[in-house]
Amino acid sequence: MTPSPPPSSDQRVLLADADAFYVAVARLVDPNGVGKEPLVIVGGSSNRGVVTSASYEARQYGVRSAMPTSQALRLCPKAVVVPVPLDACATKSREIRDALEQFTPIVEPASIDEFYLDLSGTEHLYRESLEATASRIRAAVLDATGLSVSIGGGTTRLIAKLAAKEAKRRPGRRGTGVFVVPPGQEAAFVSGLDLADIPGIGPKFQERLGRYGLRTVQDALPYDVGVLEGWFGKRTGRWLHDRIRGVGSSHVEHRPRTKSLSHEETFSEDLHEDDDLFRELLRLSVRVASDMRRRGYRARTVTVKLRDADFTTRQAGHTLPEPVSADRSIIETAEKLLRRLRRARRTSARLLGVSVSQLVKDEAPAQVSLFGPEDESTLETEKDRTISRMVDDINVKFGRKGIRRGAEVKRKT
Ligand SMILES: [Mg+2]
């Protein structure tokens, strides 16, 4: 048998996977309704609808994800069917990620409710076992979001994923929601599983494996890589050979979130007059602001970049006490910054840019207080935001020229 390289024992990978995510969020959204129902199905309620997720209680009736809702209701007639609370799910997913990032910056979302974390090298930092860190992470997520996650850990992504399944499988026995495979135990852990447990082995592959009498990992272990390659092809054979020994990649890819949005313009001719520069600034600010709203963000920091004719690049930024999204807030802040840059050096400019950073997701805008009383302490009012959104809507319908601000129109003509 060809020996496989042992996974490097200093890698510490976790997979945090929310428990019955859609159901849990639906319960949080409606604590007195869905929140009190044990039998919950989230998904399409129409004749052709399918189950997105079912509560653990409903699963005991045989209800499964992707099953037609009609079939699910025959199995579990008392279940309450609710649509997927999409916005709340997106918000909760971000909140989970925020909580996880308190422990490591290297977080890779694998789906809306599953995140890989790389905690390599943190043992010294936290002075505790990976289990202990995972338990603290679990508690922190619960505190911050009201959602429970199961966490699996090990030296590779594969092991972490399988361990998370194990953590869910035995909620009663250990009750911790955490299962970590110690370094060196990967092969022993995987050897107890069915081949169908291994991610990537779907029903079709299971059927092929079955033709050779392979159902469990134990069944497949005696065959060396050449035999497996002969049966399933070179790539798949090698892949299977490695997986059943717990060998896989440890690489968790840090995927930064959108950190900033910007628009800049290099002028065909250098601009010298303040009027011209401020007109461009207005245009760029409006573009950045509407771009940001379209992506559902608010920003705390506005930065203006100016490249002088001699290629000196200067920047000025301002961080606001709270995130903003209305044109007015972005424009006013950008204007202050450009004035500051121009005061410091008044020369021709070849490039101007506006960017926003420290972005936060804009929560679902309240449609209530349309032009109602406002809290004077806020930087921008709901009215500002409503106007900006109305302008966005009109621009979507009629193109960007639908509405231009007075100054834009006046100076453009
Ligand atoms: Mg999940």
User: Ligand 1 centroid to 208 CA: how many Å?
Assistant: 28
Q: N- to C-terminal Cα distance for the chain?
A: 79
- What integer pLDDT is reported at residue 358 of this predicted model? 81
Sheet harboring 349-361: ordered strands across? 260-271, 349-361, 297-308, 313-324
- What integer pLDDT is reported at residue 216 of this predicted model? 97
- Residues known to be catalytic: 114
Confidence of residue 313 (pLDDT cuts 50, 70, 90): confident
Report the candidate in 99, 114, 186 with the shortest Cα–Cα distance to residue 150.
Answer: 114
At the topology level, CATH places domain 260-412 in Dna Ligase; domain 1 (3.30.1490)
Mean pLDDT of all residues in 43-52: 78
- Bridge partners of 115, per DSSP, are 16, 109
User: Ligand 1 centroid to 111 CA: how many Å?
Assistant: 9
- What integer pLDDT is reported at residue 134 of this predicted model? 94
Mean pLDDT of all residues in 251-258: 73
DSSP assignment string, 317-381: EEEEEEEE-SHHHHHHHHHHHHHHHHHH----EEEEEEEEEEEEEPPPPP-S-TT----TTSSS-
Tokens 């209305």: give the residue.
326
Distance CA 103, CA 118 (A): 10
More confident residue, 251 or 13: 13
- What integer pLDDT is reported at residue 300 of this predicted model? 86
- What integer pLDDT is reported at residue 399 of this predicted model? 52
Confidence of residue 94 (pLDDT cuts 50, 70, 90): confident
User: Ligand 1 centroid to 360 CA: how many Å?
Assistant: 24
Residue 130 in contact with residue 121, Cβ under 8 Å? Answer: no
- For the chain, give the longest Cα–Cα distance: 81
Region 21-85: CATH code: 3.40.1170.60
- What integer pLDDT is reported at residue 242 of this predicted model? 94
How many CB atoms are located within 10 Å of the residue 270 CB? 15
User: Ligand 1 centroid to 147 CA: how many Å?
Assistant: 11
State pLDDT tens for residues 107-158: 988 888 999 999 987 777 778 889 999 999 999 999 999 999 999 999 999 9
Distance CA 367, CA 363 (A): 12
Distance CA 97, CA 18 (A): 11
More confident residue, 349 or 176: 349
- What integer pLDDT is reported at residue 180 of this predicted model? 95
Burial degree of 206 (CB within 10 A; 0-12, 13-18, 19+): middle
For the chain, the average pLDDT equals: 84
Domain ranges for the chain, please list them: 1-20+86-257, 21-85, 260-412
Residue 404 has pLDDT above 60, yes or no: no
Distance CA 226, CA 2 (A): 9
Could you give the C-alpha distances from 77 to 12, 30, 51, 153, in angstroms and in order? 44, 21, 14, 38
- What integer pLDDT is reported at residue 413 of this predicted model? 34
Mean pLDDT of all residues in 381-401: 66
Residue 372 has pLDDT above 60, yes or no: no
| Predicted model pTM | 0.61
Residue 40 has pLDDT above 60, yes or no: yes
Report the candidate in 268, 250, 236 with the shortest Cα–Cα distance to residue 350.
Answer: 268
User: Ligand 1 centroid to 113 CA: how many Å?
Assistant: 5
Q: State the DSSP H helix or E strand holding residue 225, giving kind and residue range, or none if neither.
A: helix 225-232
Residue 256 has pLDDT above 70, yes or no: no
At the topology level, CATH places domain 1-20+86-257 in Alpha-Beta Plaits (3.30.70)
More confident residue, 339 or 47: 339
